[in-house]
Structure formats: structure tokens, C-alpha cells
Amino acid sequence: QSALTQPASVSGSPGQSITISCTGTSSDIGDYNYVSWYQQHPGKAPKFIIYDVDNRPSGVPARFSGSKSGNMASLTISGLQAEDEAIYFCCSYTSRSTVIFGGGTTVTVL
């Protein structure tokens, strides 16, 4: 099963909003709301920032939000901050009872 499709990079200036897309199929994102997002800074383990498409775990800033339409999920960062510069991965449960990740999107704060 191929990875979910994400853009390689997205950039924005401080204070701006950016959106990262994550495209799957009817066997993963399109069939389940078990969509999550992870943030990874260089040399660190990933951090869990979104679950159930649009829910934030405790402690994750409200500027991070998620959505889904059909086979595509999205992560929006509103009011971009310097510390948001990182790699972001989407993730979905699948109809084969497995888990699949996206290839990752590098966010650059200009």
C-alpha cells in the first residue's frame, strides 16, 4: 500500500496561515475518521498533534486544526510561529486494519 500523498514543502511568513493537504483513498482517509497528524523537529521523535480528523490532544495550541473532505485530509496552522518550522506527517487507519502515513511535509517559516 502506497503512502498517503503530501506536498514536499509548504512555507509561510510569521502570522500567516498555511494548509497541508494529505490525499489518500477510499480504503483509508475516505473510509475512516481515524486521521491524525504528527509534528517532527529535527533529531526528535514525532509529536501527536491532531486525532479524529480535527481534535487536538491536551497541550497542543489552538492554532493547529484539521479537516477532511472525501479522500483528503488537511492540517491548517493559523498564526504561523517560528517554532512551527518542522516536518508534518498525516496518518490514517486503513480497511486492512493497518496504519499508513504520509510522506511528510516540511514547513518553513520565512
Partner 1 sequence: EVQLVESGGGLVQPGGSLRLSCAASGFIFNTYAMSWVRQAPGRGLEWVSSIGGRGDDIKYADSVKGRFTISRDNSMKTQYLQMSGLRVEDTAVYYCVKPPQGWEPTIYYFESWGPGALVTVS
The amino acid occupying position 19 is T
- Residue bearing cell 518542522: 86
Q: Is 66 in the site for partner 1 (CB under 8 A)?
A: no
Candidates 18, 66, 102, 107; binder of partner 1 (CB under 8 A) is 102
- Residue bearing cell 512555507: 11
Kindly report the CA angle at 24 between 48 and 77, in degrees rounded to 5? 45
Candidates 2, 13, 45, 62; binder of partner 1 (CB under 8 A) is 45
- The bridge status of strand 9-12 relative to strand 105-109 is parallel
| Nearest approach, Cβ of residue 101 and partner 1 (Å) | 4
List residues binding partner 1 (CB under 8 A): 1, 3, 34, 36, 38, 45-48, 51, 57, 89, 91, 93, 97-104
